[in-house]
Structure 1
Amino acid sequence: MSRQPRAYRLDDPNVTAGAVQVTEEPFDAIEAADGIVVPMGEKRRAPWVGILLSALSGLLVLGLGLAVEKLIVDLYAVAPWLGWVAMALAILAVLAFLAIIGREVAGIWREQKIESLREAAIDALAVKDHKAAKGIVSDLLSLYGGRASAAQGSARLRGLTDEIIDADDRLAIAERELLAPLDAQAKRAIAGAAKQVSLVTAVSPRAIVDVAFVIFAAVRLLRTLSRIYGGRPGLFGFLRLAKAAFNHLAVTGGMAVGDSLMQQVLGLGLAARISAKLGEGVLNGLMTARFGLAALSVCRPLPFIREETPKIGDVAGELISRAEAAAS
C-alpha cells in the first residue's frame, strides 16, 4: 500500500532532523567536460635501454663491493687496525651514499608533486571540478603554509575552506594569496640573472668565458626558481627539471615571437646599431630572461589563472632601455 505525500514543517517536534549535507551541483562540471577528447595512452614498449643500464649498474656495484672487501681483507692482513679503519671508512661511504640517494629521491618526489598539482589544476579548471580545486588548495597550503611570507594568505585561505566557491575562483584566490609573492621573487631573480649575463658577456674578452658564464647563470637561476617554488632538486632532479624547461622553451617558441621587446631588438636591428659586444650582451641577457620565464612556468605549481603571465619586458626591460640609450 503506497503512502500519500505529506508536507512537514522543519520546526515540527515530530520531525527528526538529521545532518544536512550540501552537495555541489555536478551539472556545470558535466557541461564543461562535454566534448573534451580523452587522450589514449600509447602502448609502452619494453624499456630495454633502462634494463641494460640497470644491469650494468648492478654489476658495477657488485664489482666495487668485491674490490672494497678485498682491500679491507688485505689491510687487515697487514695490520688489524688498518682493516678496522678501512671498515669504518667503507661504512661512512655507504651512509653518505644512502643520504645522497635519499636526497635525490626526495627532490624528484617534490618536483613530481608540483607537476601533479599543476596538471590537476589545469584539469580542474577545464571541467570546473570544485572538489578537485579544494584538494589542490589544501596541497598548496601544506606546501607553502609554513612560510612566513604566506602566513596571512594561508589564514585567509583556511577561512574559505567551507565556503561554496567556483573552482576557478578558489584557485585564483590561492594564486593571489600564495603564489603572487613567490612570482615577485622569481621575477627579481630572473631580472638579476639577465643583468649579470648581459654585463659579463659585454666585457668578457673570450667567447668561451661568455658560454661558460651563460651556462653557470642558467644553472643557478634554475635552482633558485625551483627553491622559490618549493623544490629542492638534486642532480637527477635538476637534469629532469632542466629538460622540462628546455622543452617548454621549445614549445613556446624559443625567442618569444610576438613579444614587443624581442621584436624591437631583432626586427629593428637595435643590437646592430650599437657596439658588437654590447649588442651581444643584450641578446644574451634577453635569452637568459627567456629561459628564466620558461623555468618559472615549469617550477610553478599552478598555471597562470588571474595573475598576468610575465613577459620579457617585465624582467629585462632595463636591458632594452640601456641599449636604446647606447644606440642613441
Structure 2
Amino acid sequence: MQATQHDWYAVLGVQSDASQETITRKYREQLLKLHPDVRPAEEQVQANDDVALLNLAYEVLGHEGRRREYDRERQQAATPPPSPGPPPPPPPPSVVVEPTGADYGAVLVGCLPADLQVVIHLSDGSPISACELVTSEGQFWRAVLLPGTATTLMVLLRCKPLSKGAAPGVHADELRLRVEQTDVVVPVTITALKARRSSDQRAQRQHPVLTLLTWVLCLLGGLLLVRAHGWPTEQSAARYCVRPTDRGKTLSYFRVEGNASESTAPAVWKLRAGNTGRDQFVYWWTPAVGYWERANVQPGLVRDGWTYGRYEYVEVRVNDRAGWQYLDAVLGERQSPLDSATERNQRERFLTDWIGNLDVERCSPSSQA
C-alpha cells in the first residue's frame, strides 16, 4: 500500500485518532459538499477529481484492517532512519619481533656463545615512539637496547657464562619489553653441555696394549714423512712476508710461495703501520671484507657498563662519516654492508692465525704488491 502519496486523514478532514463512526460521518459530509451535482458547471472536472480522492481515502480509512496497515506505514515514513555514525577506528598496529625467539644453541659450561640480536618493528611500518626493557638481565643473558632507526629497534642479547654447577640440558628464560604500551615476551633458551671424557680415552685406559700399538703406528708414520720430505726448517715454515704500502701508512702481508722473501698478490691482510698489538686496539683490513676493523688488545676494556676480554670488543669503520661503530650494531642493520659469515671468518683467521705472523720478514723488492 502506498501510504506516503496522500494524507488520507487530511483528505477526510479528521484527526488520526478519529473513531470509525467519525470517519464515516465526515466522509458523507464531504461527499455531499464536493459532489458534482451541487457544484457549478465550470467546477465539474475538479469535482470529479475531488470525489475520486475522497472515495480512495474512505476505502483505506473506512476499513479497519487497511487503516491499521496505513497507520503502520505512515508511522514508518515519519520516523527518520538511524544515523550510521562515524566509522570505527582502525585497529592499532601489532608489534613484530624477528626472530620470535632467541636460542644460543648448545654451549659448553664455561664457554660464551656469540651475541644474539632481536629486531622490533610495527606491522604497518609506523615509527616507534616508546620502548623499554622490562627485564634487562636474565639467568644467563643481559640485554642492551641499541640505537636503531625511527621505525626499527634492536636488542642485543649477550650471554653470561654458565656456572660449573649448571645442570646439563635446556635452560629457558624470557626477555620482556614494552613497546607502544604493548607487552612483548621473547623466549630465550640455551642448551648447557658438560665436557666428558671421550670414549677413546676410556678405551685407551682399559686397553694399554691398544694404546702402545697406536703410538708405534704414529711414530712409523712420522718417520716415513720425514724420509719423504725431510725435517722442516725455519724457512719452509714461513708462510707470509710484509711490505709497507699506501706511502708507508699500512703494512701489507702476502702469502709466501716457496721462498720466504717472495710473495704473490693480492695482500692477504693489511695492518696499520706502527700498530703491532701494543696499542689499545689492533687494526686490520682484508679484501674479503673491504673495511677496516679493530679489536681491543688488553682484557678489561669497559664500554657502556660491559667489561670485555681480549679481542672481544670489535668495531668496524664502514665510512669516515660514521666513524668506528660497534660491529654487532652494523651487522644488525636491515641493509648491512657486511656479510656476517665472511666477516666472522676473516676476523677469526686474523685473531687466531695471522696476528701471530706480524713480525715476518720483508718481501723481496721484486715481488708484486
Q: Please confirm whether the aligned pair reaches a TM-score higher than 0.5, indicating the same fold.
A: no
Largest Rg, 1 or 2: 2
What band does the TM-score fall into relative to the shorter chain?
under 0.3
Structure having the higher helix fraction is: 1
Q: Which of the pair has the greater relative contact order for Cα pairs under 8 Å at 6+ separation?
A: 1
TM-score (norm 2): 0.19
